[in-house]
Chains A and B, each alone.
Chain A
Amino acid sequence: MRNVRVKGAGLGLAAWLAGIVFFLPLAWMALTSFHSEEDAATNPPSLAASLTLDGYRDFFGAGGGASPWPSLVNSTVASVVSTLCVLVLALPAAYALSIRPVKKWTDVLFFFLSTKMLPVVAGLLPLYLFARNTGLLDNIWLLVILYTSMNLPIAVWMMQSFLAEVPKAVIEAAQIDGARLPTILARVVAPIALPGIAATSLICFIFSWNELLFARVLTGVVAQTAPVFLTGFITSQGLFLAKVCAASLVISLPVLAAGFAAQDKLVQGLSLGAVK
C-alpha cells in the first residue's frame, strides 16, 4: 500500500514538473516584460533585477514608436463583429440541424465541416485581387466577412451539438401546453444551450483575434490588426526585449482570458464537436 502511495506522489510530482516546464517560457516572458531593457538583455539572465513598467509604457507609444491602439481597436472590431455575425448565421442553422432537423441534416453538417478543411491559401489570391479591384483592400469589414466564414463551420457544429442536448420531450410538452416558438426558444432551449453558445462565441473570438495570414495580405496601415502589429517586432531593433514581451502579453491577454473562460468547452470547439 505504501508503495502505491509513493508512486502516486511521484506521478503527481511529475505532472507538476511538466506543468511548470510548459509554463516557464510564459512566466519568463511575463517577468522580462517588467524588467528594464538593460536587465532584460543580460546573459546569464538576471532574475532579481528591479521591476519597472517601462516596457509597457514603451509599447503604448511613450518611446515615440507607432501606437498599438488602432490595431487593438481593429482587432476588437473584427473579432467581436465577426463573432456576432457568426451567431446570427449559426444559431438558425443549428436549429434546423438539431431541434427541427431538415432531411439529410448530417450531410449538411458535414458540408460545413468540409469547408473548414479548405486551407486559407486556397482562396487567398482571388480574395486579394477582388479586394484590390473593389477598393476593399485595407478595410476592416472585409476581414469581418472572412472571419465570419472562417468560424461559421465550427460554430454550426458546436451549436448543433449543444442544441441537440435539449431533450425533445421537454419541447414537445411545451408545444402541447400551447407555447409558441419564441416562448419555447426563450424558456426551454436558451437555459440549456446558453453556456454552450457562450463558449462557442469565445472560441470564435479567439480564432479571429489570432488570425494573421488574411490580415497580413489584406490590410495595410489603416485596418491592420494586432497580430499584424506584432509582426513589426520580427526583426530585432536593438534593446527591445522588454517591449516585445509587453506587446506579446498585452495582445495575448484577451485570448488568455477568453480561453480560460471557455476552458471546459475548448476541446469540443477545437475538435469541431467530435469530442465532448
Chain B
Amino acid sequence: MTATATSTAPVTHARVPAPGAPGRLRAWATRAPLLPALVFMVAVTQLPFVATLVISFFDWNALYPDARGFAGFANYSEVLTDPDLRKSVLTTILLTASVVLASLVIGLGLALLLDRRFKGRGFVRTLLIAPFLLVPVAAALLWKHVLYNPEYGLFNGLLHWAGGDSAPQPDWISHTPLLAIEASLVWQWTPFMMLILLAGLQSRDTELIEAARMDGASDWQVFRHLTLPHLRRYLELGALLGSIYIVQNFDAVFTLTSGGLGTANLPYTVYQSFYQAHENGLASAAGVLVVIGSLIIATFALRVVSSLFREEASRA
C-alpha cells in the first residue's frame, strides 16, 4: 500500500507503519504460500460459474447452435413458469427439509444414547457410522435392489416372514417414490448428524451438569435447560451442512428413480436439461437458481461456522 493510500484510508490502518520496499517484499513473502491455492480456486470454481451466469441469459439449444441469441431473463421466467421445473424446485425443498429434519432428530437420539458409558460403545459407534461410509451410488443400489425390490427385496421378504402368504407386498418405489429416496438418504445422513451432535454433547460443561443434579434437577430438566441450549448451535450446524450437501443430491435421485415419478430435484433437472435435452440456456438458468438457493443457506451456515470458529479460537 502506498503512502497516499494510507493517508486516505481509515485510521485503523495507521498501526501498520508505512512499509517500504523491503516491507512490501516481506508482505508478499508471507502471502506467497497462499497464492497457488487461491488462484487455483478462483480459476476452477468462480470462472465456470460466471460462464453459467452468462449462458443463462442466452436462448441456446446445443442441437440448434445457429439459433443462439440473447434472451434476457426469458430463461428465468421459463424456468419459474414451467410446471415441471417448478415442481423440481418444490421437490428439492421437500427432499432437503424432510431428510435433514428426520436425520437430525434420529441423530440426536443416537448421540444421546452413545454419550453414555456402556459395554461395547466403540463398536456400536462403528456400526452406526458404517452407512455413511458406503459409496452413495452403492447405498442407493442397495436400497433399490436389495431392500425395495417388490419380488425379492428384504422389506417384502420380512413382511412375508412376519405375515405369511397373505402379507402385503408393496412396490415401495412406485407407490411412494419420494419417501423411498428420503428413507435411503436419512439412513446415510443420520450418522453424520450423530457425529456432529456427539461432538457437541462431549463438549458440555460436566461440572455444571453435576451441580444441577446435586440441586435435584431431573434428567429431563437437565436436557431441556442445559443440554439443548448448548446443542443449539451444533443442531444448526448439522442442519445447515446437511442442507448444503442434500440440496445438491444427485446420486440417490439418479439411481433410485432416474428422476421419474415426480422425484426430479433441481440438480437432476439441470443435468437432464443439458445432458439429454441440450437446453443450455435453460439448464444454466436453473443452475443459477440452485446457486441462489444455496447462497441463502450458505449465508446462515457461514455465520454459524464463524461463531463456533471464534469460540474455539477464544478457548485456545
Q: Are A114 and B298 neighbours in the complex by a CB distance under 8 Å?
A: yes
In the assembled complex, 6 residue pairs joining A and B whose CB atoms fall closer than 8 Å, in A order, are: A121-B270, A148-B40, A213-B251, A217-B271, A231-B254, A267-B196
Q: Are B244 and A117 neighbours in the complex by a CB distance under 8 Å?
A: yes
Q: Mark A1-44, 1 if CB is under 8 A from B, else 0.
A: 00000001101101110111011011011001000000011111
Confirm or deny: B64 has a beta carbon within 8 angstroms of a beta carbon on chain A: no
Rounded to whole Å, the gap between the CB of A160 and the closest CB of chain B is 10
Which residues of the other chain, A, contact B51 by a CB distance below 8 angstroms?
A: 123, 125-126
Rounded to whole Å, the gap between the CB of B166 and the closest CB of chain A is 13
A residues apposed to B, CB below 8 Å? 8-9, 11-12, 14-16, 18-20, 22-23, 25-26, 28-29, 32, 40-45, 89-90, 92-93, 95-97, 100, 102-103, 106, 108, 110-115, 117-130, 145-146, 148-149, 152-153, 156, 161, 164-165, 206, 209-210, 212-213, 216-217, 226-227, 230-231, 233-234, 236, 240-241, 244-245, 247-249, 251-252, 255-256, 259-260, 263, 266-267, 270-276
Which residues of the other chain, B, contact A28 by a CB distance below 8 angstroms?
A: 146-147, 154
Q: Which 6 A-B pairs have the closest CB atoms?
A: A123-B48, A12-B118, A92-B33, A126-B51, A248-B138, A117-B298
Given contacts A93-B37, A120-B248, whether A226 and B135 have CB atoms under 8 Å apart is: yes
Q: Are A251 and B287 neighbours in the complex by a CB distance under 8 Å?
A: no
Q: Are B294 and A117 neighbours in the complex by a CB distance under 8 Å?
A: yes
Confirm or deny: B258 has a beta carbon within 8 angstroms of a beta carbon on chain A: yes
Please report which residues of chain B, range 141-196, place their CB below 8 angstroms from some CB of chain A when the two chains form the complex: 141-147, 149, 151-152, 154, 156-158, 160-161, 169, 187, 190-192, 195-196
Q: Are A19 and B41 neighbours in the complex by a CB distance under 8 Å?
A: no
Confirm or deny: B199 has a beta carbon within 8 angstroms of a beta carbon on chain A: yes
Q: Are B157 and A44 neighbours in the complex by a CB distance under 8 Å?
A: yes
* Most chain A beta-carbon contacts within 10 A, residue among B114, B118, B151: B118
Q: Are B135 and A227 neighbours in the complex by a CB distance under 8 Å?
A: yes
Q: Are A41 and B151 neighbours in the complex by a CB distance under 8 Å?
A: yes
Which residues of the other chain, B, contact A43 by a CB distance below 8 angstroms?
A: 151-152, 156-157, 160, 169
Binding-face segment, B72-80, B122-130, B222-230: B122-130
B residues apposed to A, CB below 8 Å? 27, 30-34, 36-38, 40-41, 44-49, 51-52, 55, 109-110, 113-114, 116, 118-121, 123-139, 141-147, 149, 151-152, 154, 156-158, 160-161, 169, 187, 190-192, 195-196, 198-200, 234, 237, 241, 244, 247-248, 250-251, 254-255, 258, 266-267, 270-271, 274-275, 280, 283-284, 286-288, 290-291, 294-295, 297-298, 301-302, 304-306, 308-309, 312, 316
- Give Cα A247 to B198, complex, Å: 32
Which residues of the other chain, A, contact B316 by a CB distance below 8 angstroms?
A: 164-165
Which residues of the other chain, B, contact A117 by a CB distance below 8 angstroms?
A: 244, 294-295, 297-298, 301-302
Rounded to whole Å, the gap between the CB of A227 and the closest CB of chain B is 5
Rounded to whole Å, the gap between the CB of A129 and the closest CB of chain B is 8
- Give Cα A12 to B120, complex, Å: 9
Q: Are B287 and A152 neighbours in the complex by a CB distance under 8 Å?
A: no
- Give Cα A271 to B196, complex, Å: 8
* Most chain B beta-carbon contacts within 10 A, residue among A15, A25, A117, A271: A15
Q: Are B41 and A25 neighbours in the complex by a CB distance under 8 Å?
A: no
* Most chain A beta-carbon contacts within 10 A, residue among B48, B158, B255: B48
Q: Are A40 and B305 neighbours in the complex by a CB distance under 8 Å?
A: no
Which residues of the other chain, B, contact A118 by a CB distance below 8 angstroms?
A: 45, 49, 291, 294
Q: Are B152 and A25 neighbours in the complex by a CB distance under 8 Å?
A: no
Which residues of the other chain, B, contact A213 by a CB distance below 8 angstroms?
A: 250-251, 267, 271
Q: Are A212 and B254 neighbours in the complex by a CB distance under 8 Å?
A: yes
- Give Cα A19 to B123, complex, Å: 9
Q: Which of B145, B199, B241, B274 contacts A236 (CB 8 A)?
A: B145
Rounded to whole Å, the gap between the CB of B252 and the closest CB of chain A is 10
Given contacts A12-B118, A217-B275, A234-B258, whether A115 and B45 have CB atoms under 8 Å apart is: yes
Q: Are A121 and B135 neighbours in the complex by a CB distance under 8 Å?
A: no
Q: Which of A8, A95, A127, A230 contacts B116 (CB 8 A)?
A: A8
Q: Are A275 and B134 neighbours in the complex by a CB distance under 8 Å?
A: no
Q: Which of A16, A92, A153, A216 contacts B120 (CB 8 A)?
A: A16
Which residues of the other chain, B, contact A89 by a CB distance below 8 angstroms?
A: 36-37, 40
Given contacts A40-B152, A210-B135, whether A14 and B308 have CB atoms under 8 Å apart is: no
Given contacts A125-B280, A231-B255, whether A274 and B298 have CB atoms under 8 Å apart is: no
Which residues of the other chain, A, contact B195 by a CB distance below 8 angstroms?
A: 266-267, 270
Q: Are B41 and A149 neighbours in the complex by a CB distance under 8 Å?
A: yes
Q: Are A123 and B45 neighbours in the complex by a CB distance under 8 Å?
A: yes
Closest-by-CB residue of A relative to B284 is A125
- Give Cα A15 to B151, complex, Å: 32
* Most chain B beta-carbon contacts within 10 A, residue among A23, A25, A26, A90: A25
- Give Cα A178 to B275, complex, Å: 60
Q: Are A15 and B37 neighbours in the complex by a CB distance under 8 Å?
A: no
Given A8-B118, A25-B142, A266-B129, 6 other A-B residues pairs in contact with their CB atoms under 8 A: A12-B118, A117-B294, A126-B52, A212-B137, A213-B250, A275-B308
Q: Are B274 and A128 neighbours in the complex by a CB distance under 8 Å?
A: yes
Q: Are B40 and A149 neighbours in the complex by a CB distance under 8 Å?
A: yes
Closest-by-CB residue of A relative to B286 is A121
Q: Are B247 and A125 neighbours in the complex by a CB distance under 8 Å?
A: no
Q: Are A25 and B131 neighbours in the complex by a CB distance under 8 Å?
A: yes
